[in-house]
């Protein structure tokens, strides 16, 4: 299977891999907050999604600091590290998120949503 070997400062953190259809991500993120009292955040996240089961997986999330060295090797491995966290999204959860997105987007664009079969005013 396609895999990402992730190293931080020369130490192996994980081998991320999904043995079936899915998505893997490895991201370095930097955020400077608008409030100067809050510290900036630099973070490494390695995760993904198993498409068939709608299961989100996470191998590692690490806060980073200046001078940290992150290395990723794209490879092919028969086995991956066990994810530290998994979360399966139910169809009800998915629908709830879609409805919330639709409401937010329609409000932003100035549209009004009417449910099918709703009484007219």
Question: pLDDT (tens digit, 9 = 90+) per residue, 16-69?
Answer: 999 888 899 999 998 887 777 777 789 999 999 988 888 899 999 999 998 999
> Which residues form the domain of 69?
2-88
Instruction: Kindly list the strands in the beta sheet with 70-76, ordered across the sheet, starting from the edge strand earlier in the chain.
Output: 11-17, 2-8, 70-76
Tally of domains within the chain:
1
Instruction: Kindly list the strands in the beta sheet with 55-63, ordered across the sheet, starting from the edge strand earlier in the chain.
Output: 22-31, 41-50, 55-63, 85-88
Q: What pTM does this model have?
A: 0.68
Best CA proximity match to 48, nearest among 11, 21, 12, 75: 21
Does residue 98 lie within any of the structural domains? no
Does residue 48 lie within any of the structural domains? yes
Q: How high does pLDDT run on average in the chain?
A: 87
> Number of C-alpha atoms within 13 angstroms, CB side, residue 98?
7
> What radius of gyration, in Å, describes the C-alpha atoms of the chain?
20
């Amino acid at each position: 299977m396609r895999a990402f070997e992730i190293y931080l400062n020369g130490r192996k953190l994980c081998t991320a891999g999904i043995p079936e259809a899915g998505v893997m991500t490895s991201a370095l993120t930097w955020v400077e907050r608008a409030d100067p009292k809050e510290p900036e955040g630099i973070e490494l996240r390695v995760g993904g999604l198993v498409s068939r089961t709608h299961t989100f997986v996470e191998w590692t999330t690490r806060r980073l600091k200046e001078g940290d060295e992150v290395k990723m090797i794209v490879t092919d491995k028969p086995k991956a590290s066990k994810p530290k966290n998994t979360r399966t999204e139910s169809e009800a959860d998915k629908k709830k998120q879609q409805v919330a997105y639709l409401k937010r987007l329609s409000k932003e664009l100035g549209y009004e949503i009417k449910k099918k079969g709703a009484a007219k005013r």
